[in-house]
Structure 1
């Protein structure tokens, strides 16, 4: 039978580090994303003949 030994305090610290990295990446992705292009419905309809 195999046994796994863990150290909960190290796992907790690593989890916090990974969450911080994920939050930083999400913030950078949001800042780098281009603004969505919005075309008003009236302008889109006025180009049809």
Structure 2
């Protein structure tokens, strides 16, 4: 029963996070721009490697 509740809360959290990313993308604009991250951006390709 506890595992079911944990999965339900995790699912609700992911839905809320998805809505935030969909409607407020600037909130997470810093992601991929941290010191030490490797970013490769070319036409039609974006690769982010966090270290």
The alignment's TM-score, normalised by the length of structure 1, stands at 0.49
Which structure ranks higher in relative contact order (CA pairs < 8 Å, sequence separation ≥ 6)? 2
More helix as a share of residues: 1
The alignment's TM-score, normalised by the length of structure 2, stands at 0.47
More strand as a share of residues: 2
